[in-house]
Chain A
Amino acid sequence: AQSVTQLDSHVSVSEGTPVLLRCNYSSSYSPSLFWYVQHPNKGLQLLLKYTSAATLVKGINGFEAEFKKSETSFHLTKPSAHMSDAAEYFCVVSDPLLYGGSQGNLIFGKGTKLSVKP
């Protein structure tokens, strides 16, 4: 079973409109969840993380995500897209109880490429 599912491989929005990148996960009781962004030919930058504190997590650059246990979702949102947001976004889970290994073993979704039109 897929442990992290990013429902859209490609999302296109117009500048100034909202962004929604969807992510569903499989986990045990207490996963850690992350969103990372990768700009072309660059490394990954952490946008935000959830580690069993507040369910609404605010990140950098105006992004936020809400942990919904009942829906096993961790969708990433931003109220208004900017051209510089165009990149690939990865939803990531760490859950050694379910997947074994160590807490260092991050499990990545396949990514969602975000395009922003002027």
Chain B
Amino acid sequence: NAGVMQNPRHLVRRRGQEARLRCSPMKGHSHVYWYRQLPEEGLKFMVYLQKENIIDESGMPKERFSAEFPKEGPSILRIQQVVRGDSAAYFCASSPSILNGALETQYFGPGTRLLVL
């Protein structure tokens, strides 16, 4: 059973370009989460999605960032007009369906390291 897959593993962009980060959850998982890790920091929650729905985007910057999890295909985190401050590691996690409101364990991917020049 493959784990959470993220690609690309490394991404270099120049200021003003767009960055697209992909995440394929574990088989059978319908919940996806995105986190950002700045150097020397812990991970910061960005957004929580189910198929075709955004459940919680309280950690997402209001501008330039968007996320989707379509019915078919991977979840995409999109950053428009990147700036140097967007350089970070972006981690995706997935979990099974939540039953009775119980918190399920999140399983993390290897991350995408974005460098903005």
Contacts of B69 in A (CB 8 A): none
Band of interface residues on A: 20 to 34
Partner of A101, one of B41, B56, B109: B56
Indicate whether A108 reaches chain B with its CB closer than 8 angstroms: yes
Residues of B in contact, count (CB < 8 Å): 30
Q: Is the CB of B108 within 8 A of A108?
A: no
Contacts of A41 in B (CB 8 A): 110
Please judge, given known A-B contacts A32-B103, A105-B56, A108-B43, whether A43 and B91 are in contact too, CB under 8 Å.
yes
Contacts of A107 in B (CB 8 A): 45
Q: List 23 A-B contacts (CB under 8 A).
A: A32-B103, A36-B108, A42-B110, A43-B4, A43-B108, A43-B109, A44-B91, A101-B56, A101-B59, A102-B48, A102-B55, A103-B103, A104-B31, A105-B58, A106-B33, A106-B35, A106-B43, A106-B45, A107-B45, A108-B35, A108-B44, A110-B42, A111-B42
